[in-house]
Amino acid sequence: MLTFTAQAAAAIAAHASATYPDECVGLLLGQLKGNDTVVLRAVAVENRWQGQVSLADHDDPTSRRDRFYLDPRDYLRADRAAQAEGLELVGCYHSHPDHPPEPSERDRVGAQAIAGPNFAFVIQSIYDATARDLAAWYLVEDGSHFVRVELVIE
């Protein structure tokens, strides 16, 4: 199970609204408690997507509307901040503008670079700049697919 403080969930929703119609991205700081994860803070980072990767699809490869890039330096900064607060980097989040909070194939491929046991991938759906559903996923060990995780907001 993945438990969010209301403040962390609200921060994700606000970030997604502020960046709409582009995808937002951020990192989740919290604590691992056995098989459960508690998310205490959401750290917004810049979506640095600039078409860095050659894609087989024929849409605009520079669009941030349906993709993001999480800079490894932002990841390291968040990890250091987590450690300084006695927390752990427990996951990342991004938004899906005008789409449900279900991982895409692009999400699965990108997640393989940072996945680990109990590392949560959270997706905020957002329609017309209004945050809707928040869903959490874990990438299975072989990286072949995601499994949905129960998400609770306290």
Give the tens place of pLDDT for each residue, 17-45: 999 999 999 999 999 988 899 999 999 99
Lowest pLDDT segment from 9-13, 71-75, 112-116, 147-151: 112-116
Q: Is it the case that residue 61 has pLDDT exceeding 60?
A: no
Domain annotation covers residue 42:
yes
pLDDT of residue 55: 47
Instruction: Tell me which amino acid residue 25 is.
Output: V
* Residue at 59 is within a domain: no
Domain count of the fold of the chain: 1
Mean pLDDT of 142-149: 95
Q: Letter for the amino acid at 142?
A: D
Q: In the chain, count H helices and then E strands.
A: 3, 8
Whether 57 is covered by a domain: the verdict is: no
Is 101 part of any domain? yes
Instruction: Give the pLDDT confidence score for residue 64 in this predicted structure.
Output: 66
Are 62 and 51 in contact, with CB atoms under 8 Å apart? yes
| Domain annotation covers residue 82 | yes
Domain-embedded: residue 18? yes
The pLDDT mean for the chain works out to: 90
pLDDT: which is higher, 62 or 14: 14
| Residue from 19, 26, 33 nearest 87 by CA | 33
Q: Is 95 within the bounds of a domain? A: yes
Mean pLDDT of 35-58: 78
Domain of residue 11, CATH code: 3.40.140.10
Report yes or no on 56 lying in a domain: no
The residue range of the domain holding 137 is 2-49+64-153
